[in-house]
Amino acid sequence: MTLNRTPLQLKHRDSINTVMINVLIAAIPALCWSVYVFGPRSLSICLVSVISAALCQIIGDILLFRRLRADISSAVTGVLVGMAMPVSAPLWLPAIASAFAIVAAKVLSGGTGANIFNPAAMGVCFSYLAFTEHMTAFTKPFATLSPFYIELPEEMLDAARTVTSVDNMRSGIVDPTCISEELYGLVPGSIGTVSALMLVIGLVYLLLTRTVHFNSTLTFLLVYMLLSVTLCYADYEPTQFMELQLVSGNLAFVFVFMLNDYITTPTTSMGRLIFAVIAAALIYAVRAFGMVDYSEYFAVLLLNVLAPVIEKRTYPTVFGSHVRKAL
């Protein structure tokens, strides 16, 4: 069952470029922090990802005889794909991931506004399945990694490689002393996901510009916090486990930039609330019982499938429509 998706301009009071610019601005704090923690290679990866996404969008439109538009949504996809990569990723990986995201999720589906799946989530999931070793090579903060190496030498990776707090949580280990480090972003992880505080700053900006909705945002957080406290799967204080859940891994990044997408999520008020509850439950489940790394992105794709169904069931019925159908 699918629902005809309306253009983004009809789903939001602002134009598509205004929305996308707001998303890019919201990503700046996390990206700048990643440059501080991981060095300029973070920018190299994101730049390659953006260039690949933009070129694939242009080439795809030309080959399918579509009108070229001043649409920066491909740049947003490139930035989000790049920020989801570990800083140790070879430079060809974000190029391939962004190309797959644009071609599979946008070009072949009819372009911006017609895609069912979140393009960035598709690119990340594809990269994880095809290049797991590169996508899970997380490195220590402040490790010196050259921004110009196409692929980092193995000895350099071995010296900088480490495990994340999400790996430890799945093993039943919760270190309360690292909660503040996870919040500020002094931990290993993907480029744009290490600092929950920087992502919160981006979220506040999106809320102030009304790019995302407050009610669904609060609903997701409350449901996820409740699940974390009541279904704690690590042998530690439930409230500290909940705090670590919120600030670690890809949760904050996915929540801010992918669960509020106007194209791949419901647009009705009730639909957004239902979607937020299901999203919180599903993401908690996959983090607890699914794969350790990048499980949140696979949950996003499953939620994208549910979004048209939720929207159709919660779309307001026009007065008198049942009478017309009977006639």
d(CA 236, CA 232): 8
- Contact (Cβ atoms closer than 8 angstroms) between residue 139 and residue 89: no
Q: Which are the contacts of 213, defined by CB distance < 8 A and separation ≥ 6?
A: 260, 272
CATH number, position 192: 1.10.3430
pLDDT at 4: 41
Could you list the residue range(s) of the whole structural domain that residue 26 is in?
8-326
CA-to-CA distance for 93 and 81, rounded, in angstroms? Answer: 10
Residue 94: exposed, middle, or buried by beta-carbon count in 10 A (0-12, 13-18, 19+)? buried
239-284 confidence digits (pLDDT tens): 888 888 899 889 999 999 999 888 889 988 999 999 999 999 999 9
Specify the number of domains making up the chain: 1
Residue 193 lies in a domain: yes
Per-residue pLDDT of the chain (327 residues; tens, 9 = 90+): 334 444 444 444 457 788 899 999 999 999 999 999 999 999 999 999 999 999 999 998 888 877 777 678 899 999 999 999 999 999 999 999 999 999 999 888 877 777 899 999 999 999 999 999 999 889 888 887 888 889 888 888 877 777 777 776 666 666 667 788 889 988 888 999 989 999 999 999 999 999 999 999 999 999 999 999 998 876 678 888 888 889 988 999 999 999 988 888 998 899 999 999 999 999 999 988 877 789 999 999 999 999 999 998 888 765 555 544 444
Q: Is residue 1 part of a domain?
A: no
End-to-end CA distance of the chain: 26
